[in-house]
Structures are given as structure tokens and as C-alpha cells.
Amino acid sequence: MGFADKIEAAQSHARGDHRIAHLYEQWLSGSPKYTTQAKDFAYGELGSAPMAGPRALRASEGGMCPRMRVMRLIGFRQAKPTPSLQNIFATGSFLHLKWQMAGLSAGWLTECEVPFYAFDGLVRGKADAITEWGAVVDFKTAGSYFYRSFAAAPKPAHVDQVIAACSALGRTKAHLIYENKDNGAYTEHVIDVTDEMIERVRTDAEVAAEAKAAKRLPPILEDCASGDSRQFKGCFFHEQCHGADLTATFEGMWDK
Ligand code: SF4
């Protein structure tokens, strides 16, 4: 960990309740060994299929481009991730397992990959874990460029994701753990979920569902208007975004 990251981690620790970071450090400082429960979980997780069930908005896309959320909800085909993006996803998945196995082995996590439907089935997702004190946990990984901003404040979309999970699972506290893939630094944000937060995220989901019902796509983001921004090129739906004519192109797809 470099000097700047040490300062950043110290400042972050000073900002609030970093119970999971503390427990993880305790576990690492001892003689860490994975329990049979943790190994069984990892084995099952590596062979698991995507969550089945009715189509719904993804909790992990809360707060993201409304047009993209509705396109996915309708059933627009998304672009296949490139091998290098798949590699990034795989790294993230294994870093998740690392935290989950540590927490299960030490006992401060009681369940992992807990499926949920929130807001009367409008939103679905999986909570990465539940703590022994009943909080939702989500683990995120990022390279140094994004990690610095996430360490200062959690990404709003990630906050919306844990708000949906807390609403569905009847929890009021969430921990967001960010790990820097480049150097192993990590930090923690604790979110006390209020009724107002839940209502805001519920309203976003209802607006997306209404857009689908009205056969109306939310507008193209300003950033994506020119078609050459990082946001545009990074969107799985960018090839179909501009000029999508819903009634002509997607007649008959609405109830799938
Ligand atoms: S390309 Fe941009 S505006 Fe279009 S769906 Fe994706 S993020 Fe949204």
C-alpha cells in the first residue's frame, strides 16, 4: 500500500464505523483458515447459475441510466462482454469470494449471496452477505482511479443497490466495502437506511416500470448524445440506443 493510500485508509477509518474492515483485519492477523462451511459455499458459488425468476430491474443498476434499465427490462439484447471485460468480472467474483469466505469462517457473516425481490417484485438482486448483527453487505472492487473516489464517498448506484436489498430483506443497515484491485487497500462505508431512502429508490423503479408499460424509453443521456463518450462505449446497449424505435421495432416484446 502506497503512502497516499495509507493516508486515505486512515482518513476513511476515522470517518465512521468500520466494523467489517476491523473484523477482517483481526481474522488476517490470526491464523486464518477457511472452514468447511466457507469452502462448501465457494464450491457451490463457482458452479451456480444466474438467479432464475421473473424479469425485473436489477438492483445493481439502481441509479444508473434509466434508458439502459428500461432497455434491459424490456428484453433488448445486450452486447457480449469482451474477454478483457470478462476477466475484470472474474477478478471481481474471486475477490468477493475472498471476503465472503473470510466472514463465514470467522463467523461475522452468516449468509452469502442472498436473493431478493424488492418493491413488489419490480427490482431483484442478491445481497453479497448478511452480518451476524443483521446488516446487508456488498463488496465492490475497483482500480486505483475509481477507488480513490469510492473511498471518499460511495457511488450513489451502489448505495441504491443496498437500499433495495435492505428494503426487501427487512434490514436497516448496510456496509459497502471497496477494495482496490491494484494494491489490496480497502475501505468501508456504513449506510443507515431510512424510509425516505427506500421511497426514493422505489420511485425510481416505479418510473422505469411505468416507462415500460407506456412503451416509452427514457431519453438518451447527454453524455451519450455524441456516441463517442466513455459512458456510451461502456454501455452494453449502446449499439441499439440511438434511434431505437420502440413501437416499430419491439412490437410484441412488451410482455416477455
Ligand atoms: S448508451 Fe448511454 S443513454 Fe444509451 S442506454 Fe446506454 S448509458 Fe443510456
3-state SS string over 121-148?
A: CCEEEEEEEEECCCCEEEEEEECHHHHH
From the CA of 224, give the closest atom in ligand 1: 2
236 lines ligand 1 (CB under 6 A): no
Residue 187 Rama label (left phi>0; alpha psi -120 to 50; beta) = beta
**Residues 57, 146: Cα–Cα separation, whole Å:** 25
Q: Closest Cα to atom 4, ligand 1: which residue? A: 241
CATH topology of domain 3-45+54-219: Lambda Exonuclease; Chain A (3.90.320)
pTM of the prediction?
0.85
Bridge-based pairing of strands 57-58 and 109-118 is unpaired
- Where along the chain do its domains lie? 3-45+54-219
The answer, yes or no, to whether any atom of ligand 1 lies below 6 A from the CB of 97, is: no
Residue 233 has which C-alpha cell?
462505449
The answer, yes or no, to whether any atom of ligand 1 lies below 6 A from the CB of 69, is no
Q: Is 233 exposed, middle or buried (0-12, 13-18, 19+ CB in 10 A)?
A: exposed
Reading the chain (256 residues) residue by residue, the pLDDT tens digits are 444 544 444 444 444 478 999 999 999 999 899 999 999 999 999 887 777 777 889 998 887 888 998 888 888 888 888 899 899 989 999 999 999 999 999 999 999 999 999 999 999 999 999 999 999 999 999 999 999 999 999 999 999 999 999 999 999 999 999 999 999 999 999 999 999 999 999 999 998 888 888 888 888 999 999 989 989 998 999 988 997 766 544 444 433 3
List strand residue ranges (DSSP E) for 132-228, in order.
Answer: 136-142, 173-180, 186-192
